[in-house]
Amino acid sequence: MYADAVQIVLVEKKSQDQSEIESESLMLPKIKRGRRQSENLSRRNSPRRSRDSRISNGEVTEAVTLFEVISIGKRAIQSVVDDWIEAYQADRDAALLDLINFYIQCSGCQGVVTAELFQNPQNRNIMQKLTEEFDEETGLQFKKFMAYPWILTITWPVNLDTEDYPLIRPGIYWKKFRSNFCEFTAVLIQQCQYSVIYDGYLLNTIISLLLGLSDSCVRAFRHTSTLSAVKLLTALVRVVINLDINIDNSDRLYEVEKKRAELKRINPRLEQLDKKRKKLQQRHHEIEDMMDALFKGTFLQRYRDIVSEIRALCIEEIGVWMKMYPHTYLNDSYLKYIGWMLHDKVPEVRLRSLIALQGLYEKRDFVSKMDLFTTRFKDRIISMTLDKDHEVCVQAMRLLVHMLRNCEDLFTTEDCETLYQFVYASHRPLAAAAGEFLYIGHLSAIREPINAEKTENSEHKIGQLKKLLDFFIESNFHEHVTYLVDSLWDCTPIFLKDWPCMTSILLQDAVEKRIGLSAVQENLLVELMLATIRQAVEGHPPMGRGTAKKLLSTKEKKAQLEDRERITEHFAETLPLLLIKFATNPDKLVNLLQIPRYFDIDLYFEAHMEKHLEALLKQMKSIAVSHSEAEVLEACSKTYSSLSNEKQSSPNCQVSLSKKELINHLVDTYSRVLDDVLQEGKEPMTAEDVYLISCTLRRLAAFHNAHNLNQWDLYQKTSALLMFDMPQQSLPAELVQPALQCMYYAILWQLLPIIEDPHTQEELSIYATRVKHFFQLCRKYLGHKYQSVREQTNEDVTLVILHRKRMLLAVYCKLIVSSIVEMSSVAEIYKQYMKTYNDFGDIIKETLGRTRQINRIESAKTLVLCLKQLFLEHKEAHDNATPSSASFTNIKELARRFSLTFGMDHMKCRESIAMMHKQGIEFAFKEPATEDSLPPPNLPFLMLISEFSSKLLRADKRLVK
């Protein structure tokens, strides 16, 4: 498509004695002359070209231009470059014009390019006439510049879409094109580095062309030529590196031959080596001069370009130069450009700067050359961990990890304490990077990650665990141990999976303890151990660090199975001992009882560990009988449920038998005490009876929640107790609450088979009667004399009412979104956004987004209407619009929240923002002032509209005045 649109005409001067070029002659049309052999013909006749003309789909395609060849793919680049070099050696002018055509086409230009030979180098006046102008008569825009020995004139229509050119077009095709475009420059220099690159013609012309285009006002020319120029400089750096190697080898050979020739007066080989050295050094100087010209002519001009993509590619490439050729580029004179771009307003530029620095700080040899830069920009890099862009935060933290590894005594205690707290961040990549920083800076005794062989040192591991516990205590985030484990997991899995070390510390006797853990540290260690077990078996991040469960690879699934086997084998023996030791500590028991949920229960019999399972079940039964804390009983109940699944294997049968014995014991105890109470009649229950029944009911309620206990008919037994107490209602709350819970769970378990299988009408009638009876019983206890019973009831009612309100609001908002109710009606709902954010904020925000999708203008008008109504209400309540009052501040905060919903794409919301400013200004000046010396009464409304001004484009600011 570009081959037909772009034409290149070679114009030569017929008169060789013409001494200078007049300005008029530059503007006149030149005589066109066809080339001797076009690019197409020469490439078509090339045998290499014929081999590569067949594409993967079997069709033969002749690429008529370099642009079309590059569009095909990387496979054709090598052969095309070789063909172009052959064409250049045959007719360098024609080949160069083909290359010029290629660069212009890659810029997306659909205009006309003419070229004329500049034959009088003494005329300096010509440089003042090479400009970029607009011809009002023809409606064409043209750029005339020097690409020595050519004077190029590019003419294109003024309405050319400069915002759409190959480098920025979306899609996989154009992404590959950009990659191929960069690859072409690298391959071209690589293939030319031993031949035409030193002819003083090829690179001079290319560099002149790129420098001329990079100075254009047209973004497409500027972006394309800058990318090509920096990639050309990168290719030249590779050439210089090869020259350095060759010069070093030549110097060594020269010294060897010089020693051999000390006894000889004439040594032809020594003279040849000396000539070769000088030739290589001369080439080295030539390439360095070209690199310097490209750097000064392109990078220094474009790293501050108004287009962020151009700034980003400049910073990305200078980082490459520093890594490849630190001898020249790794110094403060060049590092300062990356440092300055750390303050860029566009996140992508800041991100490229950080990534470029990561490549430098990860090498210890480079760090010594960056002391001044490190001192100057350390604080800025630390502050970037709080950047508004998540990826910038992550890369900043990773850079700080490299700096911590390779820079001695760089961070102060305050710096480290600030950065350590990021392990609790909600964004997982940032937290993981902070976890690595914490491990290297605080937990590890050396500045290298500890591998498996080094973890045999138990004292070292115990010291690390104690440091981690101390950090967790000092951070005051005692409910976030799972987040801490998740942050450290990627960088220290071996350290966190050292469960033998953890259990050995917990099982130490008080006399034998060498590390002296406090009670708080022991509790945290048990909690930490549970969190690491859960992370190893499940492998998913905690809530808030991922919207969905992580998809695991085959390797990760295999590692999980191996970890689960290790956990089962180790804790099958040690967990009963831990339960015995901490049998009287509810906090530790709650966490320890959760560990069996991650066991491979079948491994008990496969590994012949039946006695360990028997010991575990014995301790769990003992804990369930001796404890009445709700958390302990719930943990014990759920663990029984996870161990006894539907499989009819030997371990599951053993667990089911143990559970049945426990329930029988609890039911017998309750039935015996209940019979005694019912037989005593109206005599009050003793304190001993109350305590025994309440504890038993709590245990039964906890187990009934996770297990179907309807075979013991707990509904009738608990109903008998409540019906007995109904006239007096003298039972304490600790009896009534678990009794009602048991009845509730019994009804739910009875409902499950009714839902799954069809039942007779008689069975359904019996179930309905039981539900009605339960509701009547609950209604009687709504007025219970004990406050705890009433509060629990009211809490449930409050949740039900809130759910109904949310449903009602959602239905009304659907009517607005469906255009059944006018969109302006939603203004009343928007007014309550700040007040009801916790309960209804998600519904209101979703409504705002849906209405904006339907009609952006009307949605924006609704926001203005909302702010107007609130402003008038504020004005009426305070007799004037006082900006310093609390209500006005709340309205301003609401306007700020509304402005955030428009996002970062200002072009998409351009019309809406302009309309809001226009209506806001009209409203502010609509009502005249009461006195000439006073401002209009609605003028403070502009303070509300100013919250949207950051979204207003510069071109629209004059329209809304």
**For the residues 280-308, what does the mean pLDDT come to?**
93
For residue 17, is pLDDT > 60? no
**For the residues 442-463, what does the mean pLDDT come to?**
60
SS (H, E, C) 568-610: HHHHHHHHHHHHHHCCCCHHHHHHHCCHHHHCCCCHHHHCCCH
The CA–CA distances, whole Å, from 459 to 292, 441, 447, 455, 456 equal 57, 19, 18, 10, 9
Work out the pLDDT band at 296, boundaries 50, 70, 90. Answer: very high
Write phi, then psi, for 281 (nearest 5 degrees). -65, -40
Residue recorded with tokens 């004139």:
153
CA 246 to chain centre: 45
pLDDT for 93 equals 84
Residues 6+ apart with CB under 8 A from 461: 455, 495, 498, 501
In what order do the strands lie in the sheet containing 150-157?
Answer: 8-11, 112-117, 150-157, 140-147, 132-135
What is the overall mean pLDDT for the chain?
Answer: 81
pLDDT for 168 equals 86
Q: Which of 11-15, 213-217, 238-242, 701-705 has the lowest mean pLDDT?
A: 11-15
Distance CA 749, CA 782 (A): 24
Q: Are the CB atoms for 834 and 799 separated by under 8 Å? A: no
For residue 27, is pLDDT > 60? no
The CA–CA distances, whole Å, from 159 to 163, 219, 547 equal 11, 14, 46
Distance CA 373, CA 899 (A): 38
Distance CA 924, CA 882 (A): 14
Q: Which two tokens stand for residue 848?
A: 């705002």
pLDDT for 371 equals 93
Write phi, then psi, for 147 (nearest 5 degrees). -125, 80
Q: Are the CB atoms for 407 and 360 separated by under 8 Å? A: no
**For the residues 517-537, what does the mean pLDDT come to?**
91
Per-residue burial over 785-816, b if 16 or more Cβ lie within 10 Å, else e, is ebeebeeebeeeeeeeeeeeeeeebeebbeeb
Q: What is the pLDDT of residues 845-876, one digit of tens each?
A: 999 989 998 998 999 999 999 999 999 988 88
How much of the chain, in percent, has pLDDT values that exceed 90?
A: 39
Cβ neighbours of 235 (radius 10 Å):
19
- H or E segment and range at residue 152: strand 150-157
pLDDT for 733 equals 77
Work out the pLDDT band at 323, boundaries 50, 70, 90. Answer: very high
pLDDT for 879 equals 72
Residues 6+ apart with CB under 8 A from 920: 864, 867, 941, 942, 944, 945
More confident residue, 181 or 61: 181
Q: What is the pLDDT of residues 99-149, one digit of tens each?
A: 888 888 888 876 556 666 544 444 444 334 444 554 445 555 666 666 666
- The three-point CA angle 54-58-61 to 5° equals 45
pLDDT for 163 equals 63
Distance CA 63, CA 114 (A): 23
Work out the pLDDT band at 486, boundaries 50, 70, 90. Answer: very high
Q: Which two tokens stand for residue 725?
A: 């107490």
How much of the chain, in percent, has pLDDT values that exceed 70?
A: 81
pLDDT for 117 equals 52
Distance CA 658, CA 640 (A): 9
Residues 6+ apart with CB under 8 A from 797: none
Residues 6+ apart with CB under 8 A from 488: 423, 435, 438, 439, 495, 496
Q: Are the CB atoms for 583 and 621 separated by under 8 Å? A: no
Q: Are the CB atoms for 378 and 419 separated by under 8 Å? A: no
Whether residue 149 has a cis bond before it, omega within 30° of 0: yes
The radius of gyration of the chain from alpha carbons, rounded to an integer in Å, stands at: 40
Q: Which two tokens stand for residue 538?
A: 């499940």
Distance CA 700, CA 624 (A): 10
Beta strand pairing call for 150-157 and 140-147:
antiparallel
Distance CA 294, CA 287 (A): 11
Q: Which two tokens stand for residue 479?
A: 């409910």
Q: Which two tokens stand for residue 860?
A: 């924006």
Q: What is the pLDDT of residues 708-763, one digit of tens each?
A: 998 998 999 888 888 887 777 677 778 888 998 999 999 999 988 888 877 778 88
Distance CA 360, CA 339 (A): 13
Distance CA 667, CA 704 (A): 12
Residue 338 has, within 13 A of its CA and on its CB side, a CA count of: 32
**Among 120, 149, 128, which residue's Cα sits nearest to residue 10?**
149
CA 236 to chain centre: 35
Beta strand pairing call for 150-157 and 112-117:
antiparallel
Distance CA 386, CA 659 (A): 52
- H or E segment and range at residue 101: helix 92-106
User: Residue 552 — left, alpha, or beta (φ > 0 → left; ψ -120 to 50 → alpha)?
Assistant: beta
For residue 834, is pLDDT > 70? yes
| Residues composing the chain | 961
In DSSP notation, 213-235 reads HHT-SSHHHHHHHHHHHHHHHHH
Distance CA 715, CA 699 (A): 15
**Among 54, 82, 55, 51, which residue's Cα sits nearest to residue 66?**
82
Amino acid type, 108: G
Distance CA 788, CA 784 (A): 9
Write phi, then psi, for 377 (nearest 5 degrees). -110, 5
Work out the pLDDT band at 455, boundaries 50, 70, 90. Answer: very low
**For the residues 80-105, what does the mean pLDDT come to?**
87
pLDDT for 231 equals 95
- The three-point CA angle 21-27-33 to 5° equals 85
Q: Are the CB atoms for 311 and 243 separated by under 8 Å? A: no
Work out the pLDDT band at 447, boundaries 50, 70, 90. Answer: very low
**Among 576, 667, 593, 676, which residue's Cα sits nearest to residue 630?**
593
Beta strand pairing call for 112-117 and 8-11:
parallel
Q: Are the CB atoms for 858 and 915 separated by under 8 Å? A: no
Q: Are the CB atoms for 79 and 51 separated by under 8 Å? A: yes
Work out the pLDDT band at 786, boundaries 50, 70, 90. Answer: low
Amino acid type, 805: K
Q: Is the pTM of this model over 0.75?
A: no
**For the residues 336-365, what does the mean pLDDT come to?**
95
For residue 212, is pLDDT > 90? no
Residue recorded with tokens 């399972």:
613
Strand partners, 144: 153
Q: Are the CB atoms for 539 and 556 separated by under 8 Å? A: yes
Per-residue burial over 37-49, b if 16 or more Cβ lie within 10 Å, else e, is eebeebbeebeeb
For residue 355, is pLDDT > 90? yes
For residue 537, is pLDDT > 80? yes
Q: Return the axis-axis angle of helices 390-406 and 347-361, rounded to nearest 10°.
A: 20
Q: What is the pLDDT of residues 261-270, one digit of tens each?
A: 766 666 677 8
Q: Are the CB atoms for 311 and 341 separated by under 8 Å? A: yes
For residue 161, is pLDDT > 70? no
Distance CA 446, CA 866 (A): 60
**Among 521, 533, 676, 549, which residue's Cα sits nearest to residue 596?**
533
pLDDT for 118 equals 47
378, with CB counted inside 10 A (0-12, 13-18, 19+), is middle
492, with CB counted inside 10 A (0-12, 13-18, 19+), is buried
For residue 700, is pLDDT > 90? yes
**For the residues 663-669, what does the mean pLDDT come to?**
92
Work out the pLDDT band at 819, boundaries 50, 70, 90. Answer: confident
Work out the pLDDT band at 702, boundaries 50, 70, 90. Answer: very high
